């Protein structure tokens, strides 16, 4: 599969990195010479330092032979024009454009082919949806949902005194009555698929798979208290903050938005008459006392300053706010944030990458999530009678290292896998795999 990517920012870089790790042929077009040099030194692919809306450059990139063209620059107009140019000049199967402008994303171009674009993704929309979904489920951990089952994937960072610390996976499963699975462990930047004898250590970031109902019971058993979330303060009234407010105001919760820009506050007040809009600088400590921030159940920090978002979240938790969500734009900060007292971190660029990768692999794939800072993927897919998984006990199927089937959904019933389980046609399978294993795993996904 030959893919041409225009724009080597975080989104373009992450997508290229994932595709290259899977053995795909990738060519990147990047007009910034310093960024182009950096990419060529860090990724095993051809990098063209040129304009992506130039037909000659597109031909040099082999777009005429490409299966996929992805435009992920910071300019909506460039992304759409580039895709339109590719659609008019070349026979490329998939044209994907990253579009950040909310006005574009809400227009009819999102619902039908526009300029020959097959898929338009908006990072702010994806991030706000993630925030709303997380809050709906308690905002006590990262939450990954699947389309055709009530199974969820949630993470817990193992703190001193945690129920999990220094226990083996076997011991943990014996001590918890509800069915669940430890899907993976991130330890010192190492991704681990655990066995029964794997010991969980302090500082591990573990992901658990269970149903929403069972998670409630599991969290009670391990001493992780769940809180009712009614009063929410959103810090930052930009695109993500406004979209999050729009989603949350419909739930009947009491929403307060704190925004430093006066004109933006006027806009928000007109758009959300049922929300309390405050024109204030959150870095001024007095605002926490004056507006009684500590009495809120949740703080959602989504300003353009990721360091401020993390500090606000920590300070609010210290004052007594029950839960905190922080928007973190730098993927390198995610590991740091996961070790702090921040319940959930959201990253717009990773949300965009997930949406694009899911579209690229669409068909039998129902949902796809990158976890452990892009080191692994969790994929939900359907199988037919031609799939190589069908008809064999799982113990007889050779899976690559650091990959495992997490769950099988059959006739709306969740089945935790065991060696004698035989996959049947029309089953839905949830699998976790390290990035390096994805090329091998694709034979099962594609059938």
**Inside any domain, residue 69:** yes
Chain-centre distance of CA 202, in angstroms?
25
**Shared domain check, 131 and 39:** no
Q: Is the pLDDT of residue 165 over 80?
A: yes
> Structure pTM?
0.71
Q: Is the pLDDT of residue 105 over 80?
A: no
Given this model, what pLDDT does residue 229 score? 87
Helix/strand/coil (H, E, C) string of 47-99? EECCCCCCHHHHHHCCHHHCCEEEECCCCHHHHHHHHHHHHHHCCCCEEEEEC
**Shared domain check, 297 and 320:** yes
- Residue 6: give the domain boundaries: 2-121
Q: Is the pLDDT of residue 438 over 80?
A: no
Q: Final residue of a domain: which of 294, 320, 346?
A: 346
Lowest mean pLDDT, pick from 15-19, 81-85, 176-180, 357-361: 357-361
Given this model, what pLDDT does residue 280 score? 92
**Shared domain check, 131 and 62:** no
Helix (H) or strand (E) holding 153: strand 151-157
What is the rounded average pLDDT of the residues 320-325? 90
What is the rounded average pLDDT of the residues 307-335? 87
Beta pairing class for 276-279 and 254-259: parallel
CATH of residue 40: 3.40.50.720
Main-chain dihedrals φ then ψ at residue 169, nearest 5 degrees: -60, -40
Number of domains in the chain: 2
**Inside any domain, residue 360:** no
Q: Is 210 exposed, middle or buried (0-12, 13-18, 19+ CB in 10 A)?
A: buried
**Inside any domain, residue 367:** no
Sheet holding 2-6, edge to edge: 46-48, 25-29, 2-6, 68-71, 94-98, 119-121
Cα angle 113, 368, 353; round to 5: 60
């Amino acid at each position: 599969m030959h893919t041409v990517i225009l724009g080597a920012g975080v989104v373009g870089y992450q997508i290229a990195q994932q595709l290259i790790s899977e053995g795909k042929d990738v060519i990147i077009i990047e007009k910034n010479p310093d960024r182009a040099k950096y990419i060529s030194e860090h990724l095993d692919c051809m990098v063209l330092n040129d304009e992506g809306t130039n037909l000659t450059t597109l031909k040099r990139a082999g777009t005429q032979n490409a299966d996929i063209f992805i435009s992920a620059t910071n300019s909506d107009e460039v992304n759409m024009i580039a895709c339109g140019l590719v659609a008019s000049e070349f026979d490329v199967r998939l044209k994907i454009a990253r579009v950040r402008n909310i006005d574009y994303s809400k227009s009819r171009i999102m619902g039908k082919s526009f300029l020959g674009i097959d898929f338009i993704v908006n990072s702010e929309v994806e991030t706000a949806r993630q925030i709303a979904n997380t809050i709906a489920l308690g905002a006590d951990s990262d939450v990954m949902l699947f389309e055709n089952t009530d199974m969820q994937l949630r993470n817990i960072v193992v703190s001193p005194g945690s129920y999990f610390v220094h226990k083996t996976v076997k011991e943990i499963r014996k001590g918890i009555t509800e069915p669940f699975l430890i899907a993976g462990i991130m330890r010192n930047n190492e991704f681990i698929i655990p066995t029964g004898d794997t010991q969980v250590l302090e500082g591990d970031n573990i992901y658990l798979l269970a149903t929403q109902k069972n998670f409630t019971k599991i969290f009670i058993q391990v001493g992780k208290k769940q809180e009712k979330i009614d009063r929410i303060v959103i810090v930052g009234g930009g695109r993500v903050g406004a979209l999050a407010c729009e989603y949350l105001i419909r739930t009947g919760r009491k929403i307060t938005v704190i925004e430093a820009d006066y004109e933006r506050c006027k806009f928000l007040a007109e758009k959300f008459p049922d929300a309390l809009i405050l024109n204030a600088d959150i870095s001024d400590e007095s605002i926490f006392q004056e507006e009684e921030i500590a009495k809120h159940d949740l703080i959602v920090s989504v300003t353009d300053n990721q360091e401020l978002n993390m500090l606000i979240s920590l300070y609010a938790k210290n004052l007594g706010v029950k839960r905190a969500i922080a928007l973190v734009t730098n993927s390198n900060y995610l590991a740091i944030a996961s070790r702090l007292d921040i319940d959930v971190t959201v990253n717009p660029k990773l949300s965009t990458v997930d949406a694009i990768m899911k579209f690229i692999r669409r068909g039998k794939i129902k949902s796809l999530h990158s976890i452990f800072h892009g080191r692994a993927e969790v994929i939900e897919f359907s199988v037919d009678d031609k799939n190589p998984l069908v008809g064999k006990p799982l113990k007889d199927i050779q899976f690559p290292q650091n990959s495992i089937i997490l769950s099988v959904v059959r006739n709306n019933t969740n089945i935790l896998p065991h060696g004698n389980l035989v996959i049947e046609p029309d089953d839905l399978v949830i699998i976790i795999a390290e990035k390096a294993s994805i090329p091998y795993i694709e034979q099962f996904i594609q059938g």
